[in-house]
Structure 1
């Protein structure tokens, strides 16, 4: 019998303030430290992607999001440089309670509001791909797969 395909699900939150979005500078995580990403994390067992988005935004940047305020942004089927597949579910919102703060200083060196169209050069490529797909109205895309070298 063939084993079923297993994949890690990542959930990303695009907090929008006008044309700007909030990015977090990774630090002390062991993965892409010194690179910017969105508030994000892994889906936990028994958790919905919406619940995960709300939880990650609270844990990482200290804001409370009403689940109804989350809009589906895009989905990215990503293949890491190490060959590990992932599914990234991206949500966007311009509505939340509280002012974003660095709520995880052991994992984040800084928060930065940036233009969604002009991300820092040191933005995690997978993150940048999801933001670009969202900005261009693409509902689902691929990133990192060899047959799609242009993505």
Structure 2
């Protein structure tokens, strides 16, 4: 995207939460959204104005799963710079959380039809592709990756 001189580029951001328990990761299956329905993903959402990344991650975890975590229990594990097929760029901030209260519950049945704990080496299929990439990067302790960009160099 070409910007006019002096125009500031704005990069939308989303947060993702990798809730962990006993070596397993909590995943949701998308349903009735019109985008990637049938694919599994982490609890996630866009950042609202006036909130920090970590407060957005805490909010999304609770909104989608009923799990309540303190902000101090969320740790940044990965940053993803993504470009969609239409050229729109955004960043994804993936947080890990293994301390939370409550039991997971499908809080948004209009957006998800399944919620469950899955072994890190046996994720269900299909996963949202950039989420699969981020989960793999986290497993390898890779703090950053890019998705949807043509290979260069």
TM-score, normalised with respect to structure 1: 0.93
Residue 124 of structure 1 is matched in structure 2 by 128
Identify the residue that residue 19 of structure 1 maps to in structure 2. 23
Separation (CA, whole Å) in 2 of partners of 1:2 and 1:34: 42
Write out aligned runs for 1:25-40 (5 A): 25-40=29-44
SS at match of 2:138: helix
Q: CA deviation at 1:47?
A: 0.9
1:117 Cα offset (Å): 2.5
1:2 CA displacement: 4.2
RMSD between aligned residues: 1.2
In the superposition, the TM-score normalised over structure 2's length comes to 0.92
Q: Which residue of 1 aligns with 2:60?
A: 56
Question: What are the ranges of 5 or more consecutive residues in structure 2 without an aligned counterpart?
Answer: none
Q: 1:73 aligns with which of 77, 86, 97?
A: 77
Residue of structure 1 in register with 2:93 after alignment: 89
Structure 2 partner of 1:102: 106
Shift of 1:103: 0.5
The answer on 1:136 being equivalent to 2:146 is no
- Runs of 5+ in structure 1 lacking a partner? none
**How many aligned positions are there?**
148
